[in-house]
Structure 1
Amino acid sequence: MTRNGESASDSYSIETSRSTTRRSVISALGAAGITGLSGCLGGDGGGGDNTDDSGGDSGGGTTGTVTGETDAASVGDNFNITIGSTYEPGHILVRCAERFKERIEDESGGRITVEVIPGGALGSEEAVIQAVQSGSIEAQIGGGVPVSMYAPDYYFVDTPFIMEDWEHFQSVWESDAFQPALDAIREEGNQRNLGIIYRGIRHYTANKPVRTPEDVQGMKLRLPQLDDWVAIWEEIGVNPTPVALDELYSALQQGVADASEGPAQQVSSFSLYEVQSHYSLTSHMVQTGGFYMNDSFMSELDETDRELIETIGDEATTWASETAISEEEALIEELGEQGMTIVRDTDAAAFREAGMPAVRDLFENQYAASWEDIQDAA
C-alpha cells in the first residue's frame, strides 16, 4: 500500500520541444485528440474514480510526466487558462471551475478565457497535477493528492479522525504549522493554491446500524489503499479491505466488503443505497478539494491579472464550499428516501477515541506537525 493510493507504479515522460506550447498541442489534436492526450498522460479516459472519494484515492492508470512551457502573458494580452480535473461534470469541484470561468471571463471582458476539461480527459489526478507542474496546462482542481505528492509529512489534512469539522480544517490550513506544506507544493510542485473547497463529511455505510466502535469489530470495511487510513481503522477494530472505488458497488453486492465509508455524494452517485441498508453518521473526516494554478504562469502575469485571478479563485472556492454545505443535508435526506436508514445517534467521540492511539503514532513518527499544534488551531 502507498500513500498515493491507487496510482500505477510505472511512469514515463513525454518530451515536448520548447517551441511547442500546451495550447498548440491541444489545438492541433482537436476534440478527438484529447482522448489521445489522456493516454499519453497516463489516464484511462475515465480519469480514475471521478467521485467524492479521497484525493489520494482518485488516481487511475499510469502516471506520466509532461514537460513544456506555459505561454507568458504581457500586460493587456488576451490569454486562456485551461483547468483539468478527473471529476465529472456536475461534481462540486467541476462546478467550482465553471464558476471561476464565468466570473473571470466576465470581469476581464472576455480578454481572459477559461477552458474546463473534466472527467479525466487529461488522465489520472496525478497526471493532471504533473501537467500543471510542467506548465502543459495552467490549472487543476481536485482532491488532496498535491499534499501527498509534494508534502507527504502534512497528509494529516486528508486523514480520518483528525479534523473536528470544516472550521477546524480551515484553521489548520491557514495556520503557521501547515504553511511549509503550501510552500512545498509551490516550490516542488510549481503550483499555488487558490482556495480549498468543502466537499462533505464522510460517514459509514453498512447493512446494520453503526453507533459505537463495538458495532464494527471485524467488519470488512472497504478503504482506499492509504496506509494512514488503514492504520487508524485497524486500531478501531475493522478488517480493512482494499477495493478500487469503481469496484465498490460490486464488492458490497458480492460480500467482498461488508461496509464502506464516504460522503453522501459518493453514496448517492454509486447507488450504494441498493446494496447497503444503513448510513450511520460517524462524521469521521472532512472531505475537501483544492484549486491550484501553475506558479510560473502566475508569476509572469502582470499584477492586475494576477490579483484578479487570485480574487476570483477565492470567490469561486468560497461559493463552492457554501453550495456543498447547503446541499449536503438534502443529499442525506434523499438517501433516506431511496431506502437507507439514516442513523444519527452515533457516538462519533467514541470512534475518535478508539482510533486515537494510531493517530498519535502517526503524529509522533510520521507527520511534521505535532498533535498539539493541530488541536491548538481548532
Structure 2
Amino acid sequence: MKKKILAVLMVGVMAAMTLMTGCSASSSAGAEQVTSRTKYVWKMALNSTAGDNAYDMAKLFADRIYKQTNGKIVVQLYGGASLGSTTEILDGMKVGVADIMCESVGTLAPYTPLANIDAMPYAYSGYDHFMKVWNSRLGDEMRETIGKAAGFKLIGGCYRGPRIVTATKKMTTVKDFKGFKLRAPALDMYIRTWKWLKAAPTPLAMTETYTALQQGTVDGQENPMPDSMNYAFDEVCDYWIKTNHVYSCNLLIMDRTYYRNLPQDVKDAVQEAAAYASRQNSRNELKKEAQAEKKLKKEGKHVIEVDTAAFANYFRDFAKTNYPELNNWVKQIKAMDPGTDR
C-alpha cells in the first residue's frame, strides 16, 4: 500500500523506561526543548502519527503549553503506539509509562460503560451541535463523570469528524445495510450499532482491513473521511457513504491522582492549552474533511449523501434498549441540537 497504513505496526519498546515522570528521550518529539527552566517533562502517548486528529491535537497542546509556561512544561510526543498499546498505557500511567494520552472518550469503555456515550449513533446532527455540547455544562459533566468512574482526568474535547462508510458497493437506505459485511472496531457499542442495522459487523485490526476489502472478506469499513483516506481506502472502495453515524470526541487523558496533586498554576496551564488545541484542531478537521471530499470526487469516487434523518429515526430507541444508563445523556445531547426548534 502507498500510504501510512504501516505506521500503526510500531511496537511498544519504550515502556521499560525509568518510571520517574520527567525523564526525556531523544527519540521523542520535543526533547530538544528541555531547558534549565523546565520543571515538568511529560510523555504523551499516541496510537497515531502526524496527520491524524489525535496526534495533531497533541502537537498543538504541546506547543501551546510550552509557550504559555515559558518552557516550564515540556510535552514529548511518542507516536505510533511506541510506548505500548492503549490498555498498557492507561494501566501504566500510575507508574509513569506515560503522563498523558490523547485518544477518544470511548477508549475508556473497558474502565466504565459510561464512556460508551462517545460512540452513541445519531446523538449529534453535525459540527455545530457537537461543539455546543462539548463546550457546555453537559460536556463538563460527561468529562467529570466518566473520568471519575474510570480513574482518569479528562481534559479538552476535539471534533474528530463524522464516521462514514466506505464500501465496494452502493448503498443509500437503511434497508441496504441488511447483511452488509463491514469491518467494525471490536467494541460492544460498534457491534451493537451495526447489528441494529441488521448488518454483519466483522471485528478486524485496521492493519488487516485494506487486504480484507481487497479480497472481499468484507465489503466496507467505517471511519471519519480523512482517516479513511490516510489508510488508502480510496484505493479499494469506490463508494463513500456519508452516514455520519457517530461523532466521536478526542481529548487528553491523565491519571486522576497525578493531576489532582499538580499545583494550581500547572492545572490552569493544562486546561488552557487543551482548550486551545481542541478549538484549533476542530477547525482544522473541518478543512481536512472538505479537502478529502474534493480529492475523492477528483479521483472519480462516488460520495453519497443519505437521508441521515431517516437513519436517526431508525435508531431512536437504540440507547433506551441497549444502554439505558446513557439514555438521559442522549436526551440532553439531542435537546441541544441548534438546528432543532424547541
TM interval, short-chain normalised: 0.7 to 0.9
Paired residue total: 315
CA shift in 2, pair 1:317/1:173, >3 Å = closer
1:319 lines up with 2:280 in the alignment: yes
3-state SS in 2 of match to 1:83: strand
Distance 1:351 1:295, change over 3 A: same
Partner of 2:148: 187
The Cα offsets for residues 168-206 of structure 1, whole Å up to 9 and x where unpaired, read as: 334444666666653355435443222011111111222
Give the whole-Å Cα distance in 2 for the aligned partners of 1:370 and 1:140: 25
> Which secondary structure does the structure 2 equivalent of 1:161 belong to?
coil
Q: 3-state DSSP class of the match of 1:88?
A: coil
2:40 aligns with one of 79, 82, 86 = 79
Change (3 A) 1:238 1:124: same
What residue number does 1:296 align with? Answer: 257
Aligned residue number for residue 321 of structure 2: 361
- Measure, in 1, the Cα distance between the counterparts of 2:110 and 2:136: 20
Q: Work out the CA distance in 1 between the residues paired with 2:45 and 2:116.
A: 22
Structure 2 equivalent of residue 374 of structure 1: 333
Alignment equivalent of 1:128, drawn from 53, 65, 89: 89
- The alpha-carbon distance between structure 1 residues 133 and 356, as it changes in their structure 2 partners (threshold 3 A), is farther
Q: CA 1:303–1:169 in 2, change beyond 3 Å: closer, same or farther?
A: same
User: SS of the residue aligned with 2:244?
Assistant: strand
Q: In structure 2, what is the Cα distance between the partners aligned to 1:88 and 1:261? A: 20
**Structure 2 counterpart of 1:351, one-letter code:** F
Counterpart CA distance in 2 for 1:284 and 1:351 is 8
Deviations along 1:55-77, one digit per CA (max 9) or x if unpaired, are xxxxxxxxxxxxxxxxxxxxx87
Map 1:1-378 → 2, pairs under 5 A: 21-24=20-23, 31=27, 78-173=39-134, 181-344=142-305, 346-364=306-324, 366-367=325-326, 369=328, 371-378=330-337
**Preserved CA contact (<8 Å) 2:158 2:278:** yes
For 1:303-358, what per-residue CA distance to the aligned partner results, in whole angstroms no more than 9, with x for missing partners? 223212211121111111111112211111112223311112x1112222223343
- Structure-2 change in CA distance of 1:350 and 1:101 (3 Å): same
Name the SS for the 2:109 alignment partner: helix
Residue type of the alignment partner of 1:318: R
Give me the CA root mean square deviation.
2.8
- CA distance in 1 between partners of 2:332 and 2:271 (Å): 28
Secondary structure of residue in 2 paired with 1:150? coil
Whether the aligned pair in 2 keeps the contact of 1:88 and 1:94 (CA below 8 Å) is yes
Q: Distance in 2 between matches of 1:180 and 1:342?
A: 36
> Structure 1: which 5+ runs fail to align?
1-13, 35-75
Identify if the C-alpha distance between structure 1 residues 182 and 135 changes in structure 2 by more than 3 Å, giving closer, same or farther: farther
Under a length normalisation based on structure 1, what TM-score does the superposition of the two structures give?
Answer: 0.74
Q: Percent identity?
A: 22
Distance in 2 between residues matched to 1:337 and 1:15, nearest whole Å: 47
Segments of 5+ residues of structure 2 without an aligned counterpart are 1-14, 29-36, 338-342
Asked if structure 1 preserves the Cα contact closer than 8 Å seen for 2:129 and 2:336, the reply is yes
Q: 1:229 Cα shift?
A: 2.2
Taking the aligned partners of 2:17 and 2:194, their CA distance within structure 1 comes to 44
Q: How high is the TM-score relative to the length of structure 2?
A: 0.81
Displacement of 1:129: 2.2
Q: Which residue identity lines up with residue 367 of structure 1 in the other structure?
A: L
